[in-house]
Structures are given as structure tokens and as C-alpha cells.
Amino acid sequence: MAHNPDKSEKQILKECVDQELLSALEQLREELGADVVSKAEKELLAQLRREISVRLEVAATKKAAARNARPKVKPKVEEEFVRFSLMFRIQHIVLFTSCLLLMITGIPLKFPNSGWAAVFFKFTGGVAASGGIHRIGAIGLIGVGAFHMIYITMIKDGRHNFIQLLPRLRDIKDVFNNVSYFLGISKVGAAFGRFSYIEKFDYWAVYWGMVVMITSGLMLWFQDTTMSILPKYFLDVAHEAHSDEGLLATLAIIVWHFYNTHLNPDNFPMSWTWLTGKISNEKIIHHHPLEYEQIIAERKKSTGGNGREHPSSEAREEWK
């Protein structure tokens, strides 16, 4: 090959390699036939494309995680991860149906003289009937609360989730990062692991709410027993605490939980994970990039490869 003085050594080397490859390909075509070689070429190209997109995805996730930001990556292959077990989902369903019942029947009991409460009582069959429905909700809440204690202590999945829900120093950093992002001071928001500080706050607020609402609720429910043990002002305090905390809990759920899980444009109208228990790779990369990295690292350890390989062969076909 004639040497061109303007070309760098790298370029010359590249040309040599290209030429070598081309002549090797020609030789293969002659020996194996054009059909076999072009099929092999296609497979090689598909593999290359796949490898490149995986590397881009890894790079984007890592880059964003390093900047403490949430990556926006559209993976080439759709894959679903299990986020919530069946037991987790059943507890959540019982919890929210009980809470909805309690809130819907409790608030009219707090404002019984208002016009809208009168309409509500007409619909439910009166104040006493509403109180009865309220007590059904209370049984659901107490039941799920008691079961949850068993779940987080005796069941592996529960213990794992509980540990992940414990507050950490990182959560405080995440709050600062996100607030400065919302204020436009920083260009990127926080990147979360399995549970964000928003979800942790939701979880721990329920503990406080349960202790106050169940204790005061039981005192109101069994007034005679309460009065036979304690002076009357204990019952008055319980009534005040139940009434005000009930309103606070209702507003907190509407403002905090409903905004974050339903009205936030990232989730609107809602994610179906509460029902299916599954989350797509696109969503897990965006909402829980650190957990995603951990899952991939663990998969890599157990299977080898880059860890991002989709387990099903149909999905492998989709890469092509």
C-alpha cells in the first residue's frame, strides 16, 4: 500500500485492518458461499448493535448516577422487574381500601351539621350506619397493621423491604438535591434506590397515624370501658386527637400521597405496579436507577455476561 504523508499512523493501521478484513471476507465468501457469509454478517451486525445500545444504556445510567441524577433512557428491549410481591400488594390494597372507608365515613362524622354531610348520611343510611361502616374500615386497618408486624419480622420479603425503608443519611442529601433541582439551582434531581425519601415518608407517616388513630379510635369505640378505667378527660383528649388527626391524615394523603403517586406528571394517572407488582426497565431506570444498577450487578455475578441480557429468547430476537 502506498503511504500518504498526510495520514496518521492510526489511519494507516485502520485501512490495513479494513483491507485485511475485506480480503478475509472475500475468501470466506468463496469457501462457504455468499448466503452463509451474509447470514453471519447480519448476526454479527445485530450483536454489535445490541452491544452498543447496552453500552450506551450503561453509560447513561452510570453518568446520571454519578451526577446524582435520574437518567432518561429508553431501553431497546422491554423487560419487566418484580417490584412488589403478592403479599406486599395485598397489604397495600387492604390498607388503602380501609383508609378510604375510614376517611369517607369519618369526615362527615366530624362535620355532621353541614349540608354535604346530610347528603352523605342519606346515601349511607344515617349517622349510625356511617359509624358502622367506619368500624368495618377500622377492623381492616387494625388487621393489616397487625399482619404487617408479622410480615416485617417473620417473612424474608418483609424484612428486606423494611430494611430498605429505613431512613438513611442519603435521604437527607436527596431532599437537598431535589429541592435545589426544583428551585432551578441544580440541573439534575436526586437518583433513588429501591425507595425514595418520598416513599419512605409515606411509609413512616402511617406508623404514627396508626398509633394515634387506633388507640384513640378504640377508646371512642369502647367508651364505657375507657370511662371505667380512666378519668373522662382522657376520652375528651382521645376524641380531639382522633378528630383532628383524622382530618390531618386525610389531607396528608390527598396532598402528599395522591400528588406523588397520581397527579405528578411522571406517574399520571397512576402506575399499575400496585396491582401487577411489576415495573418496566424504562421506569425502574428512571425512578430507581440505583436499585436497577444493583439488580444488574447481582445478575451479572450469577450469570456472567453484561447482566443486561434479557432472560427470554424471544426478547433476544427483538434486539435484531
Q: What is the DSSP string of 215-241?
A: HHHHHHHTHHHHHHHS-HHHHHHHHHH
CA distance 307 to 181: 32
Asked whether 161 and 88 are in contact (CB, 8 A), the reply is yes
Helix (H) or strand (E) holding 279: strand 278-280
Please tell me the chain's helix, strand, coil percentages from 3-state DSSP, rounded to the nearest 5.
Answer: 75, 0, 25
In the bound state with ligand HEM, the residue whose beta carbon lies nearer, of 73 and 144, is 144
Sole binder of ligand HEM in the list 242, 283, 287, 308 (CB under 6 A):
242
Per-residue H/E/C for 238-264: HHHHHHHHHHHHHHHHHHHHHHHHHHC
Contact window for ligand HEM (CB under 6 A) among 23-31, 39-47, 87-95, 238-246 = 238-246
Position 131 contacts ligand HEM (CB under 6 A): yes
- Please identify which residue in 54, 103, 198, 206 interacts with ligand HEM, judged by CB under 6 A: 103
Q: Which of residues 82-101 bind ligand HEM (CB under 6 A)?
A: 99
The three cell numbers of residue 43 are: 448476526
Instruction: Pick the stretch among 76-84, 187-195, 218-226, 292-300 that binds ligand HEM (CB under 6 A).
Output: 218-226
Smallest gap from Cβ 97 to ligand HEM, in A, equals 11
Compute the least distance from the CB of residue 201 to ligand HEM, in Å.
17
Q: Which residues of 182-204 are buried (b: 16+ CB within 10 A; e: fewer)?
A: eeeebeebbbbbbbbbbbbbbee
- Closer of 243 and 267 to ligand HEM (Cβ): 243
Site for ligand HEM in 246-265 (CB under 6 A): 246-247, 249-250
241 is an interface residue for ligand HEM by CB under 6 A: no
Q: Does 148 bind ligand HEM (CB under 6 A)?
A: no
Contact residues toward ligand HEM (CB under 6 A) are 99, 102-103, 106-107, 109-110, 131, 134, 138, 141, 213-214, 217-218, 220-221, 242-243, 246-247, 249-250
